A and B are shown apart, each in its own frame.
Chain A
Amino acid sequence: GAVVSQHPSRVICKSGTSVKIECRSLDFQATTMFWYRQFPKQSLMLMATSNEGSKATYEQGVEKDKFLINHASLTLSTLTVTSAHPEDSSFYICSASPRRRAGLREQYFGPGTRLTVT
């Protein structure tokens, strides 16, 4: 149980375009979803936390107008990178939890999406 999927697994887009990444909880209702970004040989950095039906809470330094997060249902959250630039190229990982306050025991991670902006 507790499976989280992401789509697509890889995406290449041109600079200036927007790209949407989906994160789905397959066998549980995800009250809370988290979006992380990982640059090569660096740690995962939390970008934002979203609760179903509420606006996302962004971490300091993350542009909310550039990284649009929608958590419209209990099984789906989307991250849209708007006007992508090469420096947005990264590995994006989502996690989901059935709880509003999710510690390590209740967070389930997706397989990640590799974004390359040319």
Chain B
Amino acid sequence: KQEVTQIPAALSVPEGENLVLNCSFTDSAIYNLQWFRQDPGKGLTSLLLIQSSQREQTSGRLNASLDKSSGRSTLYIAASQPGDSATYLCALEYGNKLVFGAGTILRVKS
């Protein structure tokens, strides 16, 4: 059974800081991994998708890495802004379904 853990569960940082969110999984037999953003009471916004053959993806201030052998992915956010405040979820394709982590609640203080 695949288990996905996100650490930390919550994070509060001052504006401008660089930060790292972690996602770990127990079975490395995954296809793709994706990071999502979820605003309170809202659906999911896709941030970055890393295919199983890739090691990282970048979009603007966001960089996501994937190390299947160690069962880890990280989401790096550079120069954080108050608008980055949200819950960040990682999800991975495992078998024929998606398995989500519980998320990291990020608050960026101005």
Contacts and interface: CB of A to CB of B under 8 A. Distances in A.
Interface residues of B, number: 24
Nearest to A6: B43
Contact of B103 (A43, A93, A105): A43
A33 to B, nearest CB: 13
A44 B34 CA distance: 14
A42 B102 CA distance: 5
A78 interface: no
Contact of B44 (A46, A49, A93): A93
Contact of A109 (B44, B92, B96, B97): B44
Contact of A43 (B43, B49, B102): B102
B110 to A, nearest CB: 24
Interface stretch (A11-19, A63-71, A81-89, A110-118): A110-118
A57 to B, nearest CB: 10
Nearest to B87: A41
Interface of A: 6, 34, 41-46, 49, 91, 93, 101, 103-105, 107, 109-112, 114
Contacts, number: 50
A100 to B, nearest CB: 10
Given A42-B102, A43-B100, A104 B32 contact: yes
Main SS class of interface, B: strand
Nearest to B50: A104
Contact of A104 (B4, B49, B89, B102): B49
B97 A43 contact: no
Given A43-B103, A103-B93, A104-B93, A112 B98 contact: no
A46 B96 CA distance: 11
Given A104-B98, A109-B43, A109-B44, 19 more contacts: A6-B43, A42-B102, A43-B100, A43-B101, A44-B91, A44-B98, A44-B100, A45-B100, A91-B41, A104-B31, A104-B32, A104-B34, A104-B91, A104-B92, A107-B98, A110-B43, A111-B42, A111-B43, A112-B42
